[in-house]
Structure 1
Amino acid sequence: MIQDHRVKWRMFILSIIMLIALTGCSSNSKDTTSNDKNMTQTNDQTDVTNKKDVKLVFWHYLNDRDDLLKEMASDFEQKTGIKVDVQLFGGDGFKQKIMASAQNNALPDVMTFAGGAGDLGQLVEAGNVMELSDMKDMFDKFPSTILKTFTFDNNNIFGVKKFGTYAIPMDTNNMQFVYNTKLFEKVGITSAPTTWDELLTDVDRLKAAGIVPFATGIGSWVAGSMAAPYEVAYLGEEKLVNVKKGDESLVDSGYLKVLQRFEDLYKHGAYAEGIATMDLPAAEQMFVNEEVAMIFDGSWAIGVFNQMNPNFTHYDVFQPPKPADAAYDVKIPGGIGVPLVIDNHTKNKEAAMQFVRFLVEKEQQQKYASKSFNLPANIEAATSESGMTPALHNFSLGMNHIIENGGSYPDPSVETVLQKGIQLIAIGQSTPDKVLKEMDVELQKALKEKK
């Protein structure tokens, strides 16, 4: 009996031990699952926390778009959790601020660059700005001629050895003719001119009705920009480059016909009074006041007109009309309006690229165009018409007709002679022959000094 009792007691103890073991295993299994969940939740929270801890600094110089950019930064934060501190540095000193900050490795994560390709090239060579090949999938969203502005290859004239693309365009610009649709209708003109002869006929009809046909900033840099489409139309881009370099004769190049187009407008009485000394803002004010029927201006003028008079909307755009004797297509001056650049030393590289991507997405570009009146760089946004006025949309159609390479003279003094010559032709105090000879004298002088 005692032995049976001992056996039973042993079996009881063993059962207890097994029950405890099973309970322990079950408990451990439950705890492990719980721990896995806790770890997952912790990791997720860490990811969110890390993202929320990221704060980008974005510098820009766009006084008229500060509120808009802050609004877009807020949208970006809501979408991604990444904060962006938008800082405005308006005024002429922005480029100098960038250059000085670069020397001290104190650039912001992202910035709008103020300056030309040569200026950016200095920062590239110093290793201050990021090469953007990691964003190459975005490149086909922009016209190739636009993207090339801040792309350095082995043919770049700035001596940049670190080849690649260093800026993404936030917007673009180009220059075309803008006309008052009501003044045109008033004299029976139902559509914009497409040929040079049609333009002169329209000038005659406006003049006969007592309407001043045309004004622009011929007293400033605009003179050369207005000549540029006809330089390409008569010489072609390749020959134009060679002529400006001195590899081909300027006098025998056909450039005389470029200058004769300004004489045509003078002979037909197209120009507003004071055209020789007129700057672009003065011409824009005349256009908005409906004192002239046409102006040669940039796409940025849409915003200027809106600021001057929001109720003035009856105008549209046409590309420079082609002369019958021009051998090449007319192209227009244009390029990147506002380039976006990323600091090469940023600790937030992925977030910075994500923000730049956001700014140039189709939806954001449409919003940017509708609120700032500037041309979107994104081709889809530019061609969709959504959010753009008819005039801005027609400016956008010029994106595929930008002069790719107009070349440059060995010294700016040649351009100065051209500008002064156009001013005198416009008031009948000089001739195309005389101006061409003066340009050639200056060019030969510059070439000699270069040697």
Structure 2
Amino acid sequence: MNRSRLARRAIAAALVLTIAACGGPSSSPSGSGEDDTELVFWHYFTDREELLQQFADEYEAETGVSIDLVLVPGDTLGQKFQAAAQAGTLPDLSAAWAGVGEETAPYAREGQIADLSEAMAAGWSDRFEPSLLAAASFPEGNGFDVPPGPYLVPLDSTNMQILYNKEMFAEAGINEPPTTWDDFIAAGQQLAEAGFEPFTAEFGQWPLSSFSQVYQWNVIGEEDLKATFGGTMPYTAEPWVRMLGLFEQLGQAGILADGTITNDAPAAESLFVNGQAAMLFDGSWALGVFKQQNPSFTDYGVFVPPSAGDQPVRLPGGVGAMVFAVGSSPHRDEAVEFLQWLTDTDRQRTYASESLNLPANTDAVDDGLDENLAAFAAAGDMVAPTLPSPMPGEVETTMTKGIQRILQGQDTPEGVAALMQKAAETGQAQ
């Protein structure tokens, strides 16, 4: 799953850029804003609020343009933006509550989220991996009647791996993180024998589908995934049953921490950061959460989910937080200039080191990264590509509920596969 779904924390954004006569984006603001210009910036980044204020103060000192940061709960930002659009009281900048798609399309179509095609073509786009910029753009023939082009600007990128407690591993006599599924199960049982809760995750929510995605790619493989999602291979085929069988093995191994099957993100992350679980499946954003919740907890590492099949391991991930300039703002140009400044290499390096989020600007990924953030960054080329057709939503819902039952011993891989096929044929979740 890419982070349009990893979307765990709905995140998106857009900007418009007016390029000065020099012909390309500069890492320094041009100072075109008036001294009394104030830009209102709505965001939901509670874990980065202090850092954003630091950037705002720095920008005002350099340019005279002030940034009024307004914290809005992420689950209400979309509704607040809609109400403000109707009332004509929109901000100048905003974090996006959703990625490119039906939730943001009406505002992009009406120009309330600015089209950045000209600005990106002038050189701004060079800062970002093509896959990240693609995730921030409405493509040709998008079906929403939005002119194609980039509307959202990536602030960071993500991928999901397994984090582990080094002290617990050492006490259990485990010298290296597991690289195969069998070794992963064995390590979990070794940790349990040593008195630790071996593994936890947010399996009560969407990360269960993300963990499944790792093994869809690793066990089923790209060609068979395309065939299944394209309707020429059934979900009852042997590779799908084999993939679901991994969860049967996981449930029977006795290595899941209490509550894993119903946990949400805060619950699972709290177990790990407070030393109550030895392993956690989570995203790169978790590093910032750990720093905020328990700054003294540093003795942990990161490893790629172990292989269980013959196909390459692919990770859920992609673009993370995104921001946008409001196209109807009278300060649109100044808003874009600030966002250009915010995504330059210097700011992105600071953003990465202070927030422990992977920077979207590729030039900011260097040797100065935190060790664990660097481990996430090193696996960036393992992120699963976007397929022509994704798994239908009703099938995914059926699968995740079915895997939860498998983990609890209440269903079988064959039974869940049959329900997934029925969901595909009827268009209704089972």
Aligned to 1:125: 109
- Contact 1:244–1:250 under 8 Å retained in 2: no
- Contact 2:33–2:64 under 8 Å retained in 1: no
Asked whether 1:146 is paired with 2:132, we answer yes
Structure 1 CA distance for aligned equivalents of residues 367 and 85 of structure 2: 39
Report deviation, 1:128. 1.7
- Contact 1:132–1:165 under 8 Å retained in 2: yes
Aligned to 1:309: 294
Aligned to 1:86: 69
Aligned to 2:375: 394
Asked whether 1:431 is paired with 2:412, we answer yes
Give me the TM-score of the superposition, normalised by structure 1: 0.81
Give the counterpart of 1:357 among 340, 343, 349.
340
Asked whether 1:342 is paired with 2:325, we answer yes
Q: Pick the structure with more helix per residue.
A: 1
Asked whether 1:64 is paired with 2:47, we answer yes
Structure 2 CA distance for aligned equivalents of residues 288 and 48 of structure 1: 43
Report deviation, 1:228. 0.9
1:242-285 per-residue CA deviation (whole Å, 9 max, x = no partner) reads 42353432222722222122122223322123433233322222
1:145-171 per-residue CA deviation (whole Å, 9 max, x = no partner) reads 222222111253x53441011111112
Give the counterpart of 2:274 among 289, 304, 307.
289
Gaps of 5+ in 2: 1-29
Describe the shift of the 1:318–1:125 C-alpha distance in structure 2 as closer, same or farther (beyond 3 A).
Answer: same
Structure 2 CA distance for aligned equivalents of residues 404 and 123 of structure 1: 27
Code of the residue aligned with 2:133 in structure 1: it is L
SS across alignment from 1:220: coil
Tell me how many residue pairs correspond in the alignment. 396
SS across alignment from 2:35: helix
- Larger mean CA deviation between 201-210 and 145-154 belongs to 201-210
After TM superposition, the structure 1 = structure 2 runs for residues 209-228 of structure 1, keeping only pairs within 5 Å, are: 209-228=194-213
Structure 1 CA distance for aligned equivalents of residues 168 and 352 of structure 2: 27
1:105-152 per-residue CA deviation (whole Å, 9 max, x = no partner) reads 543222111123221222112222211121332223222222222211
Give me the TM-score of the superposition, normalised by structure 2: 0.84
Asked whether 1:403 is paired with 2:396, we answer no
Describe the shift of the 1:60–1:283 C-alpha distance in structure 2 as closer, same or farther (beyond 3 A).
Answer: closer
Aligned to 1:23: none
- Larger mean CA deviation between 362-371 and 433-442 belongs to 362-371
Asked whether 1:299 is paired with 2:299, we answer no
Structure 2 CA distance for aligned equivalents of residues 217 and 135 of structure 1: 37
- Contact 2:160–2:316 under 8 Å retained in 1: yes
SS across alignment from 2:247: helix
Task: Compare CA radii of gyration and give the structure with the larger one.
Answer: 1
Report deviation, 1:415. 1.9
- Contact 1:212–1:271 under 8 Å retained in 2: yes
Describe the shift of the 1:441–1:357 C-alpha distance in structure 2 as closer, same or farther (beyond 3 A).
Answer: same
Structure 2 CA distance for aligned equivalents of residues 246 and 361 of structure 1: 44
- Larger mean CA deviation between 181-190 and 391-400 belongs to 391-400
- Contact 2:244–2:403 under 8 Å retained in 1: yes
Structure 1 CA distance for aligned equivalents of residues 169 and 222 of structure 2: 33
Aligned to 2:18: none
After TM superposition, the structure 1 = structure 2 runs for residues 166-205 of structure 1, keeping only pairs within 5 Å, are: 166-205=151-190
Structure 2 CA distance for aligned equivalents of residues 385 and 221 of structure 1: 32
Code of the residue aligned with 2:115 in structure 1: it is E
Describe the shift of the 1:59–1:278 C-alpha distance in structure 2 as closer, same or farther (beyond 3 A).
Answer: closer
Structure with the greater relative contact order (CA < 8 A, sep ≥ 6): 1 or 2? 2
- Contact 2:32–2:334 under 8 Å retained in 1: no
Structure 1 CA distance for aligned equivalents of residues 32 and 234 of structure 2: 66
Aligned to 1:39: none
- Contact 1:246–1:447 under 8 Å retained in 2: no
- Contact 1:130–1:166 under 8 Å retained in 2: yes
- Larger mean CA deviation between 218-227 and 228-237 belongs to 228-237
SS across alignment from 2:320: strand
Structure 1 CA distance for aligned equivalents of residues 116 and 272 of structure 2: 41
SS across alignment from 1:250: coil
Gaps of 5+ in 1: 1-46
CA RMSD of aligned residues (A): 2.5
Asked whether 1:384 is paired with 2:370, we answer no
- Contact 1:224–1:415 under 8 Å retained in 2: yes
Structure 1 CA distance for aligned equivalents of residues 195 and 339 of structure 2: 50
Report deviation, 1:379. 1.7
Asked whether 1:416 is paired with 2:401, we answer no
Structure 1 CA distance for aligned equivalents of residues 349 and 246 of structure 2: 37
Describe the shift of the 1:144–1:95 C-alpha distance in structure 2 as closer, same or farther (beyond 3 A).
Answer: same
1:397-429 per-residue CA deviation (whole Å, 9 max, x = no partner) reads 23332222154344x332222112111221222
Code of the residue aligned with 1:79 in structure 2: it is E
Report deviation, 1:223. 1.1
Describe the shift of the 1:213–1:81 C-alpha distance in structure 2 as closer, same or farther (beyond 3 A).
Answer: same
Report deviation, 1:50. 6.1
Describe the shift of the 1:235–1:299 C-alpha distance in structure 2 as closer, same or farther (beyond 3 A).
Answer: same
